[in-house]
Structures are given as structure tokens and as C-alpha cells.
Amino acid sequence: MFIGKTALITGSTSGIGLGIARTLAAQGAHIVLNGFGERAAIDRLRAELAEAHGVQVRHDGADMARPEAIEDMMGRALAEFGSIDILVNNAGIQHVAPVDEFPVDKWYAILAINLSAAFHTVRLALPAMKRKGFGRIVNIASAHALVASKYKSAYVTAKHGIAGFTKAVALEVAEAGITVNAVCPGYVLTPLVEQQIPDTAKARGITQQEVIRDVLLAAQPTKRFVTVEQVAALTAFLCAEDAASITGAVLPIEGGWTAQ
């Protein structure tokens, strides 16, 4: 249980991040949601989580592509809660294109949101974690932190980068009661994946059904999508006391994909 603890989850208005926020709130953590979305829908979500679990739920719409927006978000959360005990770096975007046609602005956006944003949240969260002698940082990486796929050069680069960042920071804070781990999901059917199906179909010259069967689930020996709830449960375990000896780990949850 995380009663009295505060969790900030980037990119938590949708998909995996929202699943993690729900799971941590259900275990008693106060929640700072982050991410884009319709104001009214986000307000409903905040009220629903707060009422269901008796926790405080805030939303900060900071753009993870902008370091100064991240600084403002972290400053507001630290001022309100004193420390961020659990930091989940989850916000991420994808773009699928051959490298010689890859839009330059998309390359920089993917590196900023999927990689550099975690550098900024971590550097800003650590001082209060160190003062408390407790912290849990979970970086939502990907199977693409461990292996590559065609047409995802920026994403694969960012995700391999976050795996290295995870290990480096874990070593730096190992004696401070702070753990830093990366979780590497295979395909989870969230808006991020649904949106890339048409682009992948175009890049490979196949139908969208063929993308699901022959590209996405072809990589996963279980032939099933990983679920949001499974990723959230693993993340919550890494945040628990029982996981105090797990740090610097880059943990696959991908139906056997990277065992091949």
C-alpha cells in the first residue's frame, strides 16, 4: 500500500499511464496526473479516482517536450506534496517511417518526450527523495529498449537510451533508498498502437489486419497483446517495499518477444 505517498505519472490521461495511475490510487497514493486531453474528461477522471480511493488527485498539463514546462510541473507538485515518492516516466509518442524519410521534427520530438523528459523529472525529483531516504522511479521503456524494429529509428533510439539512463541513475542513488527501474512492455492495445497501424500498413504496403497479425503480434510468442493492467501491476510491485532490492533492472513484459 502507498498510503501517504505521492505518485506523479507522466502521460497518464490515456493508456498505460492511466492504468498505472488507477492502480497506484487504488493502493492509496495521492496522484499527479499529466497528459493532454479534454478538460471535462480529465476533471471527471480526477473526481472518479479521488472519490473511489480517498486520495488527492491533481492534473498538470505540462508538455513533456518542454524542459521549462517540466520544471514548472515538478515545482508545483513538490510545493503541494513536499516530495514525489513515486515517479513514473511514461509519456511517449511514436512515429513510423523509413529513416531516410523520417521527419526531422518528429525525431527531436520523440527524443524530447520519450527520453529527455525523464532526465528532467528525475533530476528535479531526486533531491526530495534523497532527503526522505525513499524513492521509486519507474521508466516505462519498451521491448524496443532491448531489440529494434524497422521504421522506428527514433523510438528505438530513445527507448535504448532510457534503459541506459535507468541503469546509470540506479547506480548513483543505490545507497539512498531509491530504486530506478525500466519496464519494457511488448504491444499493448492503447491509442498509441492503434494510431500507428495505418502508418505501418502504408510503410510496409500491407493491410491493417495484416499489420496486427504479421507485424505486431508476430513478435509476441503468446500471440496476445500485453494488457494495461499487467503493466500497471508490475509497476506497482516495483514501487512496493518488497521490491527494495530490484534496481537498475530493465524488465521485459512482452509475451516472450525478446527471448527469441
Active-site residues, by number, are 155
CA 171 to chain centre: 21
As a whole number of angstroms, the distance between CA 40 and CA 126 comes to: 33
As a whole number of angstroms, the distance between CA 244 and CA 11 comes to: 25
Query: Rule CB under 6 A: is residue 63 a binding residue for ligand NAD?
Result: yes
Among 187, 197, 200, 234, binds ligand NAD (CB under 6 A): 187
Query: Rule CB under 6 A: is residue 36 a binding residue for ligand NAD?
Result: yes
As a whole number of angstroms, the distance between CA 3 and CA 25 comes to: 9
Q: Please, what is the minimum distance in Å from the beta carbon of residue 76 to ligand NAD?
A: 15
Query: Rule CB under 6 A: is residue 140 a binding residue for ligand NAD?
Result: yes
Pick the piece of the chain touching ligand NAD (CB under 6 A) from 21-29, 90-98, 200-208, 242-250.
90-98
CA distances to 63, 82, 111, 152, 204 from 103, rounded to whole Å, are 20, 41, 13, 12, 18
Residue position matching grid coordinates 512482452: 254
Among 35, 135, 161, 252, binds ligand NAD (CB under 6 A): 35
Q: What single-letter DSSP state applies at residue 115? A: I
Query: Rule CB under 6 A: is residue 238 a binding residue for ligand NAD?
Result: no
Residues in binding contact with ligand NAD, number by CB under 6 A:
28
Q: Which residues bind ligand NAD (CB under 6 A)?
A: 11-17, 34-36, 63-65, 90-93, 113-114, 140, 142, 185, 187-188, 190-193
